[in-house]
Amino acid sequence: MARLDQTKTPFFDKIKAYGTSGTTALDVPGHKLGRLDSEFKSFLGENVFLLDANAPKGLDNLSKPKGVIKEAQELAADAFGAEHAYFLINGTSQGIITMIMTAVRAKEKIIIPRNVHKSAINGLILSGAMPIFMKPHMDSELGIANGINLSELRETIMENPDAKAVFVINPTYFGVTSNLKEIVKLAHEYGMLVLVDEAHGAHFGFSDKLPISAMEAGADMSACSIHKTVGSLTQTSILLTQGNLVDQNRVQSTLNILQSTSPSSIFMASLDSARSYMAVYGKEKLEKLIEMAEDTRKRINKLKGLRAITKEYIYNHKGYDYDETKIMVQVSDLGITGFDAYNILSQDCNIQMELAETHLILAVLSIGTTQEDLDKFVEGLKQLRKYKTDKQIRHKIRFTYPDTYERPREAYHAPKKYVRVEDALNEVAAENIMVYPPGIPLVIPGEIINEDILDDLAFYKSQGSTILSDTEDGYIKVVDKDNWIKYEGDLWN
């Protein structure tokens, strides 16, 4: 329950006052509070430029906040139920990397599910930590990875009692959560920090009709994408911490390594404003949104060949809880893939889905979603039925992950070579390769490329998916094992 006056927006107010003060701008940025008459300015208007200042006197400094940024972050901590909050202007990726680098040093262990976002892998590379990967529960019917099994976590912790932290995804991209409260309890019994990727759950703490948030569950740190579900501008997120296991000085110093020394004041004002709006109106708005989403699922489930996934389905498939502001629709019974549906809805109906998988499409709703949006979604789904085929969509569901040859940091720094995809079997990957969205790597640095990985790459390419890697299409960057002399240094390498 918030204790501070959540109607306040101290940073937003201060930057507005500065931008409209008529100051003579002899500092950066070079547009000088919007005095360049460009096509960009004509489209956006002057006000956005008036908010775009660097660090003039009185506007505080994100690297060492003492004034209005500090006050805005304290309001955010209060609103999200944390002890400390840090504005992130480089997305939740920045927060995830910071959590890992704060909690785990080189060669120390971190227990982590294998279906993590690429930013977590980057955190492993930068920290040098040794991942102890856990296999998430797989939904064989939908072909998606869900949450952590508590008994498997207990077994993993007992096998690795020297691990420093447990990393949890709450929720998954598809909205499924684990029993976070029990996970925290178990990890804390062994003195391990709990780090939570809450990119898709920033709104949880504002409604008792949603799964509990990481802070409510007692987690030590969580990184939340305010832009995804709370309404701030893209690339703006927040890092939340609590408890005496977290070194706040290390958190701030790590953030200062990762963030720009010229953070966007527009982004910070956006965070300040979005936090206030959600704190004041979120409970009411979310309640209405959940009702609209439930009604939409019922309407979809009346359409032959389509199925909107319900909370009951999640419970029956070993999910602990489910974010009902997301709508998963299984389309494969129409004889089309989720990738087909994604493209049809975009091209024929001007509807942009969040992502597609083999059997389904995903819609991410927020308090900005309208009833008109959902009506158009249902009408678009009706149009999908024109594309029904007799094909059986049976792409193999992956229940395994590649074997690990070396920790990600070692593979990243090892000598490299480039091989054609068809020649990459049994090579050691030196890069993340993933489909985006969701950005969960098919293979990470240090893993051995097997036939399953090559099959998946071929499948996703055939579906027109965006495959992200460091190399040009048709090639994979791998470790040059013939020229690799492993560095046997001290703990910090």
- pLDDT over 70 (residue 269): yes
The pLDDT of residue 1 is 62
The pLDDT of residue 246 is 97
Rounded average pLDDT over 53-69: 90
- The tally of CA atoms less than 13 A away on the side-chain side of residue 159 is 11
The pLDDT of residue 212 is 97
C-alpha to C-alpha distance for 311 and 332, rounded to whole angstroms: 20
Q: Given this structure, which CATH class describes domain 10-278?
A: alpha beta
Chain region(s) in the chain for CATH 3.40.640.10: 10-278
Write the single-letter amino acid at 319.
G
pLDDT, tens digit (0-9, with 9 covering 90-100), for 85-115: 999 999 999 999 999 999 999 999 999 998 8
- pLDDT over 50 (residue 400): yes
pLDDT, tens digit (0-9, with 9 covering 90-100), for 378-391: 999 999 999 999 99
Distances 36 to 46, 53, 55 between C-alpha atoms, Å: 10, 15, 20
- The tally of CA atoms less than 13 A away on the side-chain side of residue 354 is 20
C-alpha to C-alpha distance for 82 and 95, rounded to whole angstroms: 15
The encoded tokens of residue 373 equal: 């949006």
Chain region(s) in the chain for CATH 3.90.1150.10: 287-387
The pLDDT of residue 264 is 95
Write the single-letter amino acid at 51.
L
C-alpha to C-alpha distance for 25 and 3, rounded to whole angstroms: 38
C-alpha to C-alpha distance for 107 and 490, rounded to whole angstroms: 9
Choose the most confident range, by mean pLDDT, from 212-216, 440-444, 487-491: 212-216
Do 460 and 435 contact (CB within 8 A), yes or no?
A: yes
Q: Are strands 237-241 and 360-364 parallel, antiparallel or unpaired?
A: unpaired
The pLDDT of residue 398 is 62
Rounded average pLDDT over 9-16: 96
The pLDDT of residue 455 is 87
The encoded tokens of residue 260 equal: 């720009």
Three-state secondary structure string covering 436-462: CCCCEEEECCCEECCHHHHHHHHHHHH
Out of 182-186, 348-352, 372-376, 488-492, pick the least confident: 488-492
Rounded average pLDDT over 220-230: 98
For 231-289, strand residue ranges (E) read 237-241
**DSSP string across 74-122:** HHHHHHTT-SEEEEESSHHHHHHHHHHHHH--TT-EEEEETT--HHHHH
Q: Given this structure, which CATH class describes domain 408-483?
A: alpha beta
- pLDDT over 60 (residue 371): yes
pLDDT, tens digit (0-9, with 9 covering 90-100), for 31-51: 999 999 899 999 999 999 999
Rounded average pLDDT over 66-71: 96
pLDDT, tens digit (0-9, with 9 covering 90-100), for 310-364: 999 999 988 899 999 999 999 999 999 999 999 999 999 999 999 998 899 999 9
C-alpha to C-alpha distance for 459 and 457, rounded to whole angstroms: 5
What torsion, rounded to 10 degrees, do the Cα atoms 217, 222, 226, 228 define? -90
For 175-263, strand residue ranges (E) read 176-177, 193-198, 221-224, 237-241
User: 440: closest CA among 173, 183, 77, 184?
Assistant: 173
The pLDDT of residue 458 is 85
Rounded average pLDDT over 370-380: 98
CATH of domain 287-387: 3.90.1150.10
The pLDDT of residue 491 is 43
- pLDDT over 80 (residue 145): yes
For the chain, first and last CA: distance in Å? 43
Helices (H), 331-370: 338-349
Model's pTM, two decimal places?
0.94
**pLDDT band, residue 395 (cuts 50/70/90):** low
User: 393: closest CA among 343, 341, 335?
Assistant: 335
Chain region(s) in the chain for CATH 3.90.100.10: 408-483
**pLDDT band, residue 136 (cuts 50/70/90):** confident
Rounded average pLDDT over 219-230: 98
The pLDDT of residue 241 is 98
pLDDT, tens digit (0-9, with 9 covering 90-100), for 442-451: 889 999 999 9
The pLDDT of residue 493 is 64
- pLDDT over 60 (residue 464): yes
Checking 403-407 for CB contacts under 8 A at 24+ apart, the result is 403/447, 403/448, 403/450, 404/131, 404/133, 404/446, 404/447, 404/448, 405/446, 405/447, 405/448, 405/479, 406/446, 406/479, 406/486, 407/107, 407/124, 407/128, 407/129, 407/130, 407/131, 407/446
Rounded average pLDDT over 241-246: 97
- pLDDT over 80 (residue 65): yes
User: 396: closest CA among 451, 318, 467, 437?
Assistant: 451
The pLDDT of residue 161 is 97
The encoded tokens of residue 267 equal: 């982004």
Write the single-letter amino acid at 368.
G
